[in-house]
Amino acid sequence: MEQTKQKSKTYHLDTIGKVHRDKHGMYLQIDEPYRPALEGLDGFSHAQVLWWFDKSDDEASRSTTKFNPPFDAPILGVFALKAPTRPNPIGLSTVRIVSVDMASGIVMIPRIDAFDGTPLLDIKPYLPSFDRVDNTRVPNWAAHWPDSMPEDGISLDPGPN
Q: Is the whole model's pTM more than 0.75, yes or no?
A: yes
Give yes or no for residue 159 having a pLDDT over 50. Answer: no
Closest CA to 114 of 44, 65, 48: 48
3-state secondary structure of 122: strand
> Does the domain made of 17-127 have the CATH classification 1.10.10.60?
no
Predicted local distance difference test score (pLDDT) of residue 1: 62
Integer Cα distance of 91 and 78 in angstroms = 12
Q: Are 44 and 94 in contact (CB under 8 A)?
A: no
Integer Cα distance of 88 and 62 in angstroms = 6
Q: How is the chain split into domains, by residue range? A: 17-127
Buried b (16+ CB within 10 A) or exposed e, 57-70: eeeebeebeebeee
Predicted local distance difference test score (pLDDT) of residue 35: 98
C-alpha angle 52-103-96 in degrees, rounded to nearest 5? 50
What does the pLDDT average to over 47-73?
92
Q: How far is CA 115 from CA 11, 16, 150, in A?
A: 24, 16, 20
Q: Are 106 and 35 in contact (CB under 8 A)?
A: no
List the alpha helices (DSSP H) in 23-120.
59-63
pLDDT > 90 in the chain, percent? 61
Q: Render pLDDT for 62-120 as a digit per residue (tens, 0 to 9).
A: 999 998 888 888 999 999 988 889 999 999 999 999 999 999 999 999 999 999 999 99
Integer Cα distance of 49 and 40 in angstroms = 16
